[in-house]
Chains A and B, each alone.
Chain A
Amino acid sequence: MAGNPKFAHNKDAAGEPGMNRRRMLAWFSGFGLFGSAILSAFSNLVFIKPRATYGQPQRFNIGKPEEFPSGTRMALDTRRVCVVREGDKIAAISTTCTHLGCIVSVADTGFACPCHGSRYDQDGNVTGGPAPKALPWYKVSLAPNGELEIDKDTEVEPGSYLNV
């Protein structure tokens, strides 16, 4: 095409009013303002969700496997888990009652909640009381420094143990 390439570029095939300087600036301004509005709205949404809370960390080390001999059922109250070891198999069962969140205590028959009398068996299945569902099991793994690591963010099927 002949003539000034700038204007030629701005005409489209349908012959509609071209992208002159005025329109282009308006588009630019609109894009800038709209973009920053979206960004700030998005930032506000992200901001609402806390990045860190003052709860105990969800992934933590509890010590060497040797510290939990076979047959152990040890409740760690601040962590709200019960470490269970049978032979070479280790698992971690939540001690937060599924009813209203009290800390359940370890009993001979399994777990018993002191608040409203919910009862669970050794594997955390509900055997009585108002609790709606079984106690979750958490993932146990071996950290690189040889300690057991419990990840409360990852629930596992009841009955899945870590072999040590």
Chain B
Amino acid sequence: MRLALAIASFVVLIVHGLVFYQQFFHKWENYQTAYFDQARALSKTDAEKAALTARSPRIEQSLVTKFGENRVDRCITCHLAMDDPRFKDHAQPLRTHPYTAGMGDVQVNGKWERRHKFADFGCTVCHDGQGRGLQEHYSHGEDEYWPDPLAGYIVQANWRKDFSTKLKGKDYMQSNCAQCHTEENFAGTALVDRGRKLFFANNCYGCHRIEGLSEGTLGPDLSEVGKKFKIDYLWESIVEPRANLATSFMPQFHLSEQDVKALVIFLKSRRGVNFSETSLQRYRASLNAKRPPEGAAEPVALQGAALISSGEKLVTDHACTACHKLGSRDGGIAPDLSFEGLMKNESWILEHFKNPPSKIPDSIMPTFRFPAADFQAMSTYLASLKTPPPMPTPADTFKELCQRCHGEKGDGHGPIAIYLDPYPRDLTKAGFINSKPVERLQNSIKNGVAGTSMPSWGQVLNDNQIQGVLQYVFTTYTKEPRKEITARKVPEKNPVAASAESMARGEDTFVRRCSGCHGRKADGKGPNSLDILPRPRNLRNTAFVDSVSDRRLFESILYGVQGSAMPSWIDYGLSQNEVGDLVNFIRGINARSAARK
């Protein structure tokens, strides 16, 4: 017992001693003592030496009260020599802060004078970090969860190793210069400017909002992105958008390293604050910004060519090509608009602009809130685009028109396919392609598939060309020779009268038999749907359901859809009357939603 007590009491003593040592003996005291010693050796007069001898280590700080919000920076406690020009070749922390003309420092009579005096501006205004911290990991910020480590100097231990070498360097300081030097083309913030230009050149502004710069709504708001994220996260998010968010559909831009760096610096400079302002000044400025301009002129209704050219400008300004393809610019997410006028008419485009899901229910295109006049101008412009690309052979036709969605291999995995719902058809599935009559396939090409992203190519291609591209698909992708299609015996018209009872019976059957794949809401998102390709049809897609005849619904339900997961329900004992109820139910849910509009 006594031995245990003796050991325990000694352990307590040692722990106490360690805590005491940690709390009351600091590294910065050693740095300051070293500074006094070295400065004493460098000083010329006895008075200077005496003054240094009289000094003892203590916490030094600069209180910044006349520049933006009040700040307390204690960096000088360790970096005591930062304003002492004699220490310019010493090792950190006792080294003179460099004088550079780039920071506005000037030489007078061979002596440097600072433009940004530390007592007036502090340290963290430029360097980031935590001004109050007196230990390295607090002040410089080697903390995983802390977004503002010393910009350009500290790379955290847990940062991605393959990026870490790129994240260091004084270039990153520019993001902090830009906190106060907000003007464009400021000589000291060349990389911020470059990043800003890239932000517009690469259509980032189409999806992302940055207060005062852009109004995109698809992607995250970047107004304060520099405050929330460290440079490694920003770098990673630009290079690999899906690294942190698996569902992100931000395209990979394949920028050069210099461009990524400029963008990171630009984004890091977006903090929603200006260090030179206090929050009250900022609030006043925001009030003034929101006030509508007085005496704004009524917009003049444009006509003809002027309307088209204003539409063209709007399409550029609103960054439609961040997603869509238009001429040489391709966002790689949404369909090609280069000859939209041949595929859609003006009123379709206008209605689609106002509410995209009204035309294609599962479209991811956001409902933009532009003025009606802008929509009109953009629709007129898009409807005026009527120049199809040259396509001498069916192979060219497929390449120009089909490949973007259906893919190089015709397997429905084109570059933009993942953004489309329903997915483009897999043309290599012989089971499907060969079970459908050529007329239906031709019709799908000529008139498009309503409610989906398949446009009508009737004005782009003549019948021979359609025939040609279809033949090309058969031989290149489907490969299997077409066989005689067995004619099914199905009614032309639904023999069961549409009544409330019939629909209720249909719903009952639907919930029991169909909802596993088509979902309880009949929206094609049932629990099994994710395992199935092609995906189950969204039966609430009114435009599609309305375009399909009773005959086709009967055939698909009774005999299944070859090349898809839809089974032949006649084998599972569904009678023709039950299918009739189902068809009434499907028509019913779409009729209701149509009435609601």
Interface residues of A (CB under 8 A from B): 22, 25-26, 28-33, 35-36, 39-40, 42-43, 46-47, 51-52, 54-57, 59-61, 64, 78, 141, 143-146, 154
Please report which residues of chain B, range 1-36, place their CB below 8 angstroms from some CB of chain A when the two chains form the complex.
2-3, 5-6, 8-13, 15-17, 19-20, 23-24
With A143-B83, A145-B83 in contact, do A39 and B9 touch (Cβ < 8 Å)?
Answer: no
A20 CA to B532 CA, complexed, in Å:
85
Chain A residues with CB under 8 Å of B60's CB are 57, 59
Let me know if B86 and A144 touch, CB within 8 A: yes
CB-CB under 8 A from B6, the residues of chain A are 25-26, 28-29, 32
Contact B17–A39 (Cβ < 8 Å): yes
Q: How far is the CB of A101 from chain B (nearest CB, A)?
A: 19
10 contacts between A and B (CB under 8 A): A26-B6, A33-B9, A36-B17, A39-B16, A46-B24, A52-B59, A55-B63, A56-B63, A61-B83, A145-B84
**Within the assembled complex, what's the spacing in Å between the Cα atoms of A29 and B1?**
11
- Extra contacts besides A28-B10, A61-B119, A154-B54 (7): CB < 8 Å: A30-B9, A32-B11, A35-B16, A43-B24, A52-B59, A54-B72, A55-B63
Q: How many residues of B contact A (CB 8 A)?
A: 40
Cβ distance A1 to chain B, nearest Cβ, rounded Å: 27
Report Cα–Cα, A57/B119, bound state, in Å. 10
CB–CB A40/B63 < 8 A: no
Q: Is the CB of A26 within 8 A of B2?
A: yes
Say whether A39 contacts B20, CB under 8 Å: yes
Chain B CB within 10 Å — which of A52, A60, A146 has the most?
A52
Q: Is the CB of B61 within 8 A of A36?
A: no
Report if B489 contacts A (CB, 8 A): no
- The CA-CA distance from A30 to B6 in the complex, in Å, is 8
CA distance A31 to B86 in the complex (A): 50
Q: Which positions in B face A, CB cutoff 8 Å?
A: 2-3, 5-6, 8-13, 15-17, 19-20, 23-24, 39, 47-48, 51, 54, 58-63, 65-66, 72, 74, 83-86, 111, 113, 117, 119
Contact at A32–B74, with CB atoms within 8 Å? Answer: no
Kindly identify which residue among A35, A42, A52, A60 contacts B119, using a CB–CB cutoff of 8 Å.
A60
* Cα-based distance from A154 to B12 in the complex (angstroms): 42
Task: Name A22's closest neighbour in chain B (CB-CB).
Answer: B2
Cβ-defined partner of B12 (8 Å) among A32, A46, A61: A32
* Bound-state Cα–Cα, A34 to B23, Å: 20
Looking at chain B's contact residues, the main secondary structure is helix
Partner pick for B13 among A36, A43, A52, A141, CB 8 A cutoff: A36
Task: Check A35 against B13 for contact (C-beta < 8 Å).
Answer: yes
Q: Which residue of B lies closest to A56 (CB)?
A: B63
**What's the minimum C-beta distance from B410 to chain A, rounded to whole angstroms?**
72
Chain A residues closer than 8 Å to B86, beta-carbon distance: 144
A39–B83 CB distance below 8 A:
no
Residue pair A43, B19 in contact (C-beta under 8 Å): yes
Q: Is the CB of B85 within 8 A of A144?
A: yes
Q: Cβ of A64: which chain B residues have Cβ within 8 Å of it? A: 113
* CB-CB nearest in chain B for A39: B16
Residues of B within 8 A of A28 (CB): 6, 9-10
Contacts of A36 in B (CB 8 A): 9, 12-13, 15-17
Find out whether the CB atom of A141 lies under 8 angstroms from the CB atom of B5: no
Q: Which residue of A lies closest to B83 (CB)?
A: A145
Residues of B within 8 A of A35 (CB): 13, 16
CA A60 to CA B12, docked complex, whole Å? 43
B119 shortest CB reach to chain A, Å = 6
Contact B51 A141 (CB under 8 A): yes
Q: Which residue of B lies closest to A33 (CB)?
A: B9
Contact of A57 among B9, B10, B48, B62 (CB under 8 A): B62
Chain A residues with CB under 8 Å of B39's CB are 144
Question: With A57-B63, A61-B83, A141-B51 as given contacts, are A32 and B20 in contact (CB-CB < 8 Å)?
Answer: no
| Min C-beta distance of B509 to chain A, whole Å | 76
Interface centre among B6, B17, B59, B60 (most CB of A within 10 A): B6
Chain B residue with Cβ nearest A61: B119
In the complex, are the beta carbons of A25 and B63 less than 8 A apart?
A: no
Complex alpha-carbon distance, A42 and B20, angstroms? 9
When the two chains form their complex, are residues A52 and B74 in contact, meaning their CB atoms are under 8 A apart? yes
Smallest distance from the beta carbon of B139 to chain A beta carbons, Å?
14
